[in-house]
Structure 1
Amino acid sequence: MTIVDNPQFGPETDALLKRLADLPANPDLDPYQALLLDREDLPDPAIAGEPDPRVATEDISVDLPGRTLQARVYRHSIRPRPILLWLHGGGFVGGDLRDIEYATSRIAADGNVTVVSVNYRLAPEDPCPAGLQDVYDTLGWLREHLHGDGRIAIGGQSAGGALAAGACLLARDAGTPLPERQILCYPVLDLDPSADWHEWYFGTREIPAGAVPLQAASLKGLPPTLMLAAGRDWLRADAVAYTARLEQDGVPTELIEYADTMHAFLNFPAALSAGRHAVELIAADLRATFG
Structure 2
Amino acid sequence: MIQTALEAGLRQTMNRLVRPLLHPAIPVALQRRLISKAYLTSIPPRGTRFEDIQAEGLAITRACHGDSSNGVVLYFHGGGYIIGSPKTHRGITGHLAKFSGAMVITPDYRLAPEHPYPAALDDAETVYRALLDEGHPPATISLAGDSAGGGLAVALAIRLRDKGLPLPSSLMVLSPWTDLSNQDLYSPECEPVLQKPWIDKAARLYCGSEPVSNPLISPVQGDLSGLPPLLIQVGSQEILLNDAQRLADVASRDSVDTRLEIYNSLWHVFQVHAGQLDRATDALKTAGAFVRRHLATSTNAESLAAQPVVS
Corresponding residue number in structure 1 for 2:266: 261
Which SS does the other structure have where 1:97 is aligned?
coil
Post-superposition shift, 1:143?
Answer: 2.0
Query: d(CA) in 2 for partners of 1:69 and 1:227?
Result: 27
1:163-174 alignment to 2 at 5 Å?
A: 163-174=152-163
**3-state SS of the aligned residue for 1:267?**
helix
**2:108 alignment counterpart:** 119
Q: Hey, what's the Cα distance between the residues in 1 that align with 2:294 and 2:126?
A: 24
**Matched residue, 1:31:** 27
AA at the equivalent of 1:54: G
Partners of 1:43 and 1:53 in 2: CA distance: 17
The 2-side partners of 1:160 and 1:149 are apart by: 20
1:93 maps to: 82
Q: 1:224 to 1:148 in 2, by over 3 A?
A: closer
What secondary structure is seen at the aligned counterpart in 1 of 2:201? coil
Unaligned runs of 5+ in 1: 1-5
Shift of 1:20: 3.7
| CA RMSD after TM alignment | 2.8
Q: Residues 109 and 40 of structure 1: is their aligned pair in 2 closer, same or farther, counting only changes over 3 Å?
A: closer
Point out the more displaced range, 205-214 or 87-96: 205-214
Contact map agreement 1:143 1:150 (CA 8 A) in 2? no
CA offsets, 1:188-221, max 9 Å, x none? Answer: 00123652312211133345541110111x2110
How far apart, CA to CA, are the structure 1 residues paired with 2:228 and 2:106?
20
Alignment CA distance shift 1:146-1:204 (3 Å): same
* Equivalences for residues 33-182 of structure 1 within 5 A: 33-38=29-34, 40-41=36-37, 43-45=39-41, 48-49=42-43, 51-63=44-56, 68-76=57-65, 81-145=70-134, 151-182=140-171
Inter-partner Cα distance in structure 1 for 2:28 and 2:229: 38
Q: Moved runs in structure 1, 4+ residues, more than 6 A?
A: 24-27, 146-149
2:274–2:281 CA contact under 8 A, matched in 1:
yes
Q: Note if contact 2:237-2:264 (Cα within 8 Å) is conserved in structure 1.
A: yes
TM value normalised by structure 2: 0.79
AA aligned opposite 1:101: R
Give the partner amino acid of 1:128. Answer: Y
Other structure's SS at 1:18 match: helix
Q: Distance in 1 between matches of 2:138 and 2:150?
A: 24
Amino acid of the residue matched to residue 225 of structure 1? Answer: L
Q: Is the 8 A contact 1:83 1:152 kept in 2?
A: yes
1:201/1:77 Cα in 2 relative to 1: closer, same or farther (>3 Å)?
A: same
1:239 corresponds to 2:244: yes
User: What TM-score results when the alignment is normalised by the length of structure 1?
Assistant: 0.84
Structure 2: runs of 5 or more not aligned: 183-196, 298-311
Kept in 1: contact 2:172–2:291 (CA 8 A) = no
Give yes or no for contact 2:207–2:217 (8 Å, CA) kept in 1.
Answer: no
Q: Alignment identity in percent?
A: 26
Q: Is the 8 A contact 2:36 2:88 kept in 1?
A: no
Query: What number of residue pairs does the alignment pair up?
Result: 276
Counterpart residue identity of residue 31, structure 1 = P
